[in-house]
Chain A
Amino acid sequence: MSLAIDTAKAAARRPWFPRLGLQAERLVVPALLLAGWEVFARTGYLPPALLPAPSVVVRAWLDWMFAIDESTQSYAGRWASDALASAFRVLSGFAIAGALGVSLGVAIGWWRLAEKTLEPTLQILRPIPPVSWIPLAIIWFGIANRPAIFLVFLATFFPVLMNTIHGVKTVDRNLIRAGAMMGATERQLLHYIVVPAALPSIFAGLRIAIGVAWMVTVTAEMVAVKSGLGYTLWDSYYFLRYDIVLAAMASIGLLGFLSDLLLKTVMGIVLRWQRTTTVQGREA
């Protein structure tokens, strides 16, 4: 009997549970973290200047965005242009890395000669931290946007490259045979079979890369530019404005999340064919 009641309850719950319930689930952890932080900050265990409460951060953030009370002084009202400046650098570096990483990755994955000639050099360059390129980036590209874009490019190129190579190398050989049987030239094999088959891996690389791109914004904007979220973060740190530092961190996190969401949506459309065969498809 209790089973019958449970089932009835479940049926009654069903209409709203999947949508609203799932959305609420997503918010539980962030809400708990913020609440815990707020309470901890208000105990006064740490000086408020060093650990501002979320409410303080939000006020600074709003002022940075809309200049509501000028509490952030010279930063007030500049958030949108800072976000735009950072987004421009991130997306430019990411786009160049994406284009170059995919094309070189396909070449290295497909042609042994390309692998032998290019891969060793790239593998030596790969472990060099992007930040260590700053001195060279400045003398090569001067100041303003270009060194920053270069650093984003350096950080994002390798994940795209590695995943593309992997994707190409693991294409089912029988698909290539089927293509050859239907009279495909080598170029057509690459265009119509190898690249589409490698797309799941390529997208995995792009998603890692978009995250990394935002990760290096602070590094890229620490020197050479006077705008952007990373610049504001580092600049406000000099004035010990930890509320702005935290607002900048949150902004980067949020924009990173949104760009990944966008990429994930594009991926969902492009890789629609995978839906019925993968774990991911269960969500739909």
Chain B
Amino acid sequence: MSVAAIQMRNVTKVFSDPKRGRELLTIDNISLTVERNDFFCLLGPSGCGKSTLLNIIAGFEKTTSGEVLVEGVRVEKPGSDRGMVFQQPTLMPWLTVWENVAFHLRLKGIRKSERRARAQEYIDLVGLQGFENHHPSELSGGMNQRVGIARALLMNPSVILMDEPFAALDAQTKLEMQEELVSIWERHRCTVVFVTHSVEEALFLGNKIAVMTARPGRIRELLSFDLPRPRDITCLPFNDVKRQVLALIREEASRRIAA
């Protein structure tokens, strides 16, 4: 029997704001299935609830109603079966690169020599050789984000959740990181859920793209995108789909203004 990597069933999230005495419907009845080895992009404007949805999968937020299953198991709390790469690298500033990458193993009580060896494998994978003993404050934003990716991969999770991990990087580093992420995903064969507000990023990375509406967040359209990799973001088929998605977003925006 094959279970989907992630199943969301009628997920709804209402944030209550007791100070202002009102409730905010952030996610409105989303049902989605992410298959194993999907590179699944959640694309939507700021404030559409895409990060909230990711936090629900991660177990940081609870659903108001509905449920999320990861590998068939209901999500109740955060756990190492779901590796998260945060928008900010969120590394322990007092640990070195390798200690950050191997943090999960330290929690499991694995001895140092083995931790060090396992960390090296993933440090090599993200191309950080030579920086094993640096502290995060000594590295650039892009390098820190690589540490965050290595840290998530080392746990060998069922899914990797990425919350706009490249949003704070400069354009050139971002491009480089996107290419590398795709190559890691191809070699490593893992399931990725990637949140982004950039159409181009979603189309460059994903083989499934869920276009979300502005708040309350719903799925406007679910696209499959099978353009061969490495993808040329200037080629005709890429631009065709990009035009199509942009039209969707524009339509959505005008509908909101009219409403």
Which A residues have a C-beta under 8 Å from some C-beta of B?
Answer: 172, 174-175, 177-185, 188, 192-193, 196-197, 199, 271, 273-274, 276-277
Q: Given A273-B93, A273-B135, does the pair A180, B77 have CB atoms closer than 8 Å?
A: yes
Taking a contact as CB atoms under 8 Å apart, the answer to whether B84 and A184 are in contact is no
Interface contact B58-A277, CB-CB below 8 Å? no
Residues of B within 8 A of A271 (CB): 94
Contact A196–B92 (Cβ < 8 Å):
yes
Query: B155: which of A175, A179, A182, A188 is its contact (CB, 8 Å)?
Result: A182
Cβ B92 vs Cβ A193 within 8 A: yes
Q: Is the CB of B104 within 8 A of A178?
A: no
* B104 surroundings in chain A (CB, below 8 A): 182-183
Say if the beta carbon of B60 comes within 8 Å of chain A: yes
Listed by A's residue number, 25 A-B pairs whose Cβ atoms lie within 8 Å are: A174-B88, A177-B84, A177-B90, A178-B84, A178-B92, A179-B103, A180-B78, A181-B58, A181-B80, A182-B80, A182-B107, A182-B151, A183-B80, A183-B104, A183-B108, A183-B155, A185-B107, A192-B92, A196-B92, A271-B94, A273-B93, A273-B94, A273-B135, A273-B137, A276-B138
Complex CA distance for A279 and B181, rounded to whole angstroms: 36
Residues of A within 8 A of B103 (CB): 179, 182, 192
The B70-120 residues at the A interface (CB cut-off 8 A) are 77-80, 82-84, 86, 88, 90-95, 103-104, 106-108
| Contact status A178-B80, CB under 8 Å | no
Contact with A277, one of B77, B80, B137 (Cβ below 8 angstroms):
B137
Specify the chain A residue showing the minimal Cβ separation from B134.
A276
CA distance A175 to B148 in the complex (A): 12
Known contacts A183-B79, A183-B80, A188-B107; decide if A178 and B90 are in contact (CB<8 Å): yes
Q: Are B137 and A177 in contact (CB under 8 A)?
A: no
A177 adjacent to B92 (CB under 8 Å):
no
Q: A183-B104, A184-B107 are in contact. Are A276 and B90 (CB under 8 A)?
A: no
Complex CA distance for A264 and B107, rounded to whole angstroms: 30
Residue on A nearest B108 in the bound complex, by CB: A183
Complex interface: chain B residues within 8 A of A197 (CB):
92, 94
Chain A contact surface mostly: helix
Q: How far is A185 from B107 in the complex, measured between Cα atoms in Å?
A: 8
Q: Assess the A178–B86 pair: CB atoms within 8 A.
A: yes
The CA of A276 and the CA of B103, in the complex, are separated in Å by: 22
Please name all residues of chain B whose beta carbon is closer than 8 Å to the beta carbon of A178 when the two chains form the complex: 84, 86, 90-92
In whole Å, how far is B57's beta carbon from the nearest beta carbon of chain A?
11
Q: Which residues of A contact B95 (CB under 8 A)?
A: 273
In the complex, residue of chain A having the shortest beta-carbon distance to the beta carbon of B93: A273
Please give me the 7 A-B residue pairs with the lowest Cβ-Cβ distance, nearest first: A183-B80, A180-B78, A182-B104, A273-B94, A277-B137, A174-B90, A181-B84
Per the bound structure, the CA–CA distance linking A177 and B104 in Å amounts to 13
Residues on B with beta carbons closer than 8 Å to the beta carbon of A193: 92
The smallest C-beta distance from B220 to any residue of chain A, in angstroms, reads 29
Q: Chain A nearest CB: distance from B86 CB in Å?
A: 6
Distance to closest chain A CB from B38 (angstroms) = 20
* Given A273-B135, A276-B138, A277-B137, also A192-B90 (CB < 8 A): no
B138 adjacent to A177 (CB under 8 Å): no
A193-B92, A196-B92, A273-B93 as given contacts; A183 in contact with B137, CB under 8 Å: no
Chain A residue numbers with a CB within 8 Å of B84 are 177-178, 181
A177 to B78, CA, bound (A): 8
Query: Which residues of the partner chain A approach B88 to less than 8 Å between Cβ atoms?
Result: 174
Contacts of A174 in B (CB 8 A): 86, 88, 90
CB distance from B211 to the nearest CB of A (A): 27
Q: How far is the CA of A197 from the CA of B108 in the complex (A)?
A: 20
A276 lies within 8 A of B135 (CB):
yes
Q: Which chain B residues border A181 with CB–CB below 8 Å? A: 58, 78-80, 82-84
With CB as the reference atom, state the residue of chain B lying closest to A177: B60
- Distance in angstroms from B162 CB to nearest chain A CB is 12
Write the B169-200 contact mask toward A (1 if CB under 8 angstroms, else 0): 00000000000000000000000000000000
B92 proximity list for chain A (CB < 8 A): 175, 178, 192-193, 196-197
CA distance A197 to B95 in the complex (A): 11
Within 8 Å by CB of A196, from B79, B83, B94, lies: B94
> CA of A175 to CA of B91 in the docked complex: distance in angstroms?
7
Given A174-B90, A182-B107, A183-B104: A276 and B137 interface contact (C-beta under 8 Å): yes
Known: A181-B79, A196-B94. 19 other contacts (CB 8 A): A172-B90, A178-B84, A178-B92, A180-B77, A181-B78, A182-B80, A182-B151, A183-B104, A183-B107, A183-B155, A188-B107, A192-B92, A192-B107, A193-B92, A197-B92, A199-B94, A271-B94, A273-B94, A277-B137
Chain B residue with Cβ nearest A271: B94
User: From A189, which residue of chain B is reached at the shortest CB distance?
Assistant: B107
Q: How far is the CA of A179 from the CA of B95 in the complex (A)?
A: 13
Binary contact readout B129-167 vs A (1 if CB under 8 angstroms, 0 otherwise) = 000000101100000000000010001000000000000
| CA gap between A273 and B100 in the complex, in Å | 13
Question: Which chain A residue has the least Cβ–Cβ distance from B78?
Answer: A180
Tell me, in angstroms, the Cα distance from A228 to B188 when the chains sit together. Answer: 68
